[in-house]
Amino acid sequence: MHHDVDAAPRTLARLAADIAVQTGELIATLRDRGVTVAASKSSAVDIVTEADREAERLIVSALRAARPADGVLGEEGTGIAGTSAVTWVVDPIDGTVNYLYGIPAFAVSIAATVRDAHAFADGRRAVAGAVFNPRTGELFEAWEGGGSRLNGSPISASGKTELATALVGTGFGYTAERRAEQAEMASRLLPLARDIRRIGSAALDLCNVAAGRLDAYYEMGLNPWDYAAGVLIAREAGAALLGRDDSTPPGEPFLFAGDAGLVRELRAVVLGG
Ligand code: IPD
Ligand code: CA
């Protein structure tokens, strides 16, 4: 299955984990020194800090040193076309608003992906990935076929099938138009579920599904770096992933994660079907 990848997915996961931990330590140190907003992106509340940029530079140089033939796609602008089958999809700080406010729910997300036209909306599929939260010291990692781990111990999704008692994570985009739509979806769901959580990091939301801390998660409008590692960690922990409908791969416009039956019901409620 991995004949086009020159290294075992497990080896790629080890590399992702090492770089995620190293970068996580960097962003935590930079945060302790103080943080300022460097610029805003899609809207005034979609921000980037100097730490996001410095962290992306560290990730890219570490990946280039270890695997010079691979491509790299990063949230803060990296777009290196490689010559190997692997493209790394990285988010230097997922949960940037939490990072700015000092809320300990942000993470470094690093995934090794290969081309797969049908797997996800971006036409790629992660074969290995790691997500590290430097504030909790939690390292989530997975490689294809190897299960998911939290700090080295196997984790699994909750398997909850009933929406009424399900705890469902979600997130909101950065533009007013997008949020108005998302508010309608959340208002349909809220009366029908145990509760909802807006933790503020899509990568950690997917890892929380993997660890059974959330029964399901959905979001509209994610970018590949938000979900690349997290979807593999969720899937390897037993969660199903769905897109807007059965012929649309998960990612953009929609991603649903959780028990296979539960996410179908969740999708119908959220989309108003
Ligand atoms: C955001 C977070 C958030 C999600 C947004 C993402 P960022 O990423 O993952 O939880 O709701 O859709 O854009 O901006 O913190 O890297
Ligand atoms: Ca992100």
Does the structure show a pLDDT above 60 at 1? no
Q: Which CATH number fits domain 9-155: 3.90.190.20, 3.40.50.300, 3.30.830.10, 3.30.540.10?
A: 3.30.540.10
Report pLDDT digits (tens) over 183-235: 999 999 999 999 999 999 999 999 999 999 999 999 999 999 999 999 999 99
Cβ of 197 less than 6 Å from ligand 1: no
User: Which residue stretches of 173-256 are H helix?
Assistant: 176-189, 202-210, 224-236
CA 251 to ligand 2 center in whole angstroms = 13
Cβ of 96 less than 6 Å from ligand 1: yes
210 token code pair: 């993997």
Q: What average pLDDT does range 138-157 have in this prediction?
A: 98
Point out the ligand nearest to the CA of residue 89: 2
Asked if residues 127 and 84 have their Cβ atoms less than 8 Å apart, the reply is: no
217 token code pair: 């998660």
Q: Whose CA is nearest to atom 16 of ligand 1?
A: 94
pTM of the model: 0.96
The pLDDT confidence band at residue 46, using thresholds 50, 70 and 90, is confident
Task: Tell me which of 47, 73, 201, 219 to substitute to probe ligand 1's pocket, judged by most ligand atoms within 8 Å of the beta carbon.
Answer: 201
67 token code pair: 């695997």
Q: Give me the residue spans of the domains in the chain.
A: 9-155, 163-270
pLDDT at 40: 87
Give the phi and the psi of residue 102 in degrees, each rounded to 5.
80, 20
Cβ of 109 less than 6 Å from ligand 1: no
Q: Which one, of 89, 99, 82, 103, lies nearest residue 56 by Cα?
A: 89
Asked if residues 94 and 106 have their Cβ atoms less than 8 Å apart, the reply is: yes
pLDDT at 118: 87
User: For 163-270, CATH number?
Assistant: 3.40.190.80
Asked if residues 149 and 142 have their Cβ atoms less than 8 Å apart, the reply is: yes
pLDDT at 273: 63
How far is Cα 217 from Cα 171, in angstroms, rounded to an integer? 9
Q: Whose CA is nearest to atom 15 of ligand 1?
A: 95
Does the structure show a pLDDT above 90 at 24? yes
Cβ of 172 less than 6 Å from ligand 1: yes
Does the structure show a pLDDT above 80 at 4? no
Report pLDDT digits (tens) over 95-144: 999 999 999 999 999 999 999 988 888 899 999 999 999 999 999 999 99
Strand positions, DSSP E, 27-123 = 37-40, 47-49, 71-74, 79-80, 87-94, 107-115
Report pLDDT digits (tens) over 52-63: 999 999 999 999
Q: Could you tell me how far CA 140 lies from the centroid of its own chain? A: 11
Does the structure show a pLDDT above 70 at 2? no
Q: Which one, of 166, 23, 47, 155, lies nearest residue 98 by Cα?
A: 47
Strand positions, DSSP E, 78-210 = 79-80, 87-94, 107-115, 124-133, 138-143, 148-150, 153-155, 167-170, 195-197
